Each structure stands twice: as C-alpha cells, then as structure tokens.
Amino acid sequence: MPPADRPPPEKMMFQLNLRRRGISDQRVLRAMDGIPRDVFVEPADRDDAWLDTALGIACGQTISQPFVVAYMTERLELRDDNRVLEIGSGSGYQAAILSRLCRQVLTIERFRVLADRARSRLEQLGCDNVEVMLGDGFDIPAEAGQFDRILVTAAMEQIPDALTARIEPGGLLIAPVGPPSGRQTLILLRRTTAGLVRKELIDVRFVPALPGIAREL
C-alpha cells in the first residue's frame, strides 16, 4: 500500500494524464485533484472513477471524461469573482470543479433524480456556492440574470440566442455543437464590444440537450 500521506497510484495517474494531455492551469489542476470523482460515479463504477473515460449515470446520462471536464474548465478562464451558469448538472461533478474556481454557480438539470443527487453530493462536499435548479436549459428564468461564464454540458445543434443573450460583456460561453448522435465540436463564444467572437476548439461526444423538464420515471 502507498504511504498514508501519498495519493493512491490511480489518482496520481489521473493528474499525470491531465498534464500530459496539455492541461496546464494550476488552479484547474488543483480543483481536479481536490474533488473526489469517485463520489460522483455510480457505486458499481467506483473502481474506474479515476480513469480518463466517461461513465454512465442514471437517466441514460454520463459523467464526462476528466480530460474534457478539465479542458472546458480551463478554456473558461475563470476568475474568483465570476458568476457561472452550467446547463446540464448530471452527476454534479463539473459544478463541483467550477465551485472551487469562481464566486457562484447556478447549474440547471432537467432530470429530478439527477438534480436531487447532485445537490446532495455537492452539499456533502461543502460546495456552498452552487445552486442546483430543476429546470429547462432552453428556457432559463428571467430572474436568473446574466453570467460571466456559461458552460453547456450536452450537445446542441445550435446555440440559442436566448442563451447567448445571458453572457455578460467580456464573458465566455462553451458548448458542444453538432448532431445529437455522433461527434460534436466544442464552440467558444466570447462577448466583445464588437459582438460575439466564435472559435472552434476540439471534437467531443456528449448526450443531446433536450428541452423541457423530464417526466418522472
């Protein structure tokens, strides 16, 4: 067994793999190191929690591959005073990472089961600056306001104007854009004084973003 003051080998490889794949932001790496991914996976998958792979969760959804979580987080260029919107809470893992890097996170989930489980896990880890809302990511309540950063964790065929309108001046949005089956491309939008500037990043694969609140199973 490794000494008590050293992380287990699988967690050491987890960090090493992120660095090898180009994640260099030390704040992001510390957040990824500090949030236990095994808390967010299904019990049967805990032995695989530190592998760099997506894993299935309830309601036919997934917890994203750690590299993709770190990559998207790094590209958000988060600051301590940022207010962040996440569309698609899933297991709550991405919101937990965000919570360590910004002032406030609002994460919206259409499945009640997932929202309740994510809320419980986040409370357990002391992520007190995260609010989990059961809702429709395509129809965000007006009172939610504007956001410095927006992160979409489900595939959209196009980014709706109603969502880009929520980006504060100087703010960023990242979303996987493309067909619901197959690969999508991560798109980065930056709001400048001249308007929205679009940049294509890497190809990814996400479950589709769907409108409405899911009916109870």
Spell out the residues 6+ positions from residue 189 whose beta carbon is closer than 8 angstroms to its own: 159, 164, 167, 172, 173, 174, 175, 196, 197, 198, 199
pLDDT at 9: 78
pLDDT confidence of residue 1: 45
Is residue 28 in a domain? Answer: yes
Residue type, 67: F
Q: What is the pLDDT of residue 196?
A: 97
DSSP letter assigned to residue 103? S
Residue 70 has φ and ψ, to the nearest 5°, of -65, -40
CA 62 to chain CA centroid, Å, is 11
CATH number at residue 102: 3.40.50.150
Residue 209 lies in a domain: no
Q: Rounded CA gap, 20 and 40, in Å?
A: 24
Is 210 among the domain residues? no
List per-block mean pLDDT (blocks of 10 residues) for the chain, which spans 217 residues. 59 92 97 96 95 95 97 98 98 98 98 98 98 95 96 96 96 96 95 97 95 82
Q: State the amino acid at position 104 in one-letter form.
A: Q
The Cα–Cα gap between 184 and 16 comes to: 26
User: From CA 134, how far away is CA 89, in angstroms rounded?
Assistant: 9
Is 3 inside a domain boundary?
Answer: no
Q: Tell which phi-psi region holds residue 150, choosing left (phi > 0), alpha (psi between -120 and 50) or beta.
A: beta
Domain that holds residue 133: 9-204
**Domain for residue 65, yes or no?**
yes
In this prediction, residue 216 carries a pLDDT of: 65
d(CA 93, CA 104): 15
Domain count for the chain: 1
Does residue 141 sit within a domain? yes
Q: Helix 26-34 to helix 66-75 angle, to the nearest 10 degrees?
A: 140
Q: Is residue 214 part of a domain?
A: no
Q: Which residue has the tokens 């980006």?
A: 167
- 64 catalytic residue (yes or no): yes
Domain assignment present for 59: yes
Q: Which one of the listed residues 24, 64, 89, 181 is annotated catalytic?
A: 64
What pLDDT does 7 receive?
60
Q: Which residue type, as a one-letter code, is found at position 183?
A: R
User: Which strand ranges, in their side-by-side order, compose the sheet holding 184-192?
Assistant: 130-134, 104-109, 83-87, 147-152, 167-177, 184-192, 195-204
Written as one letter, the residue type at 3 is P
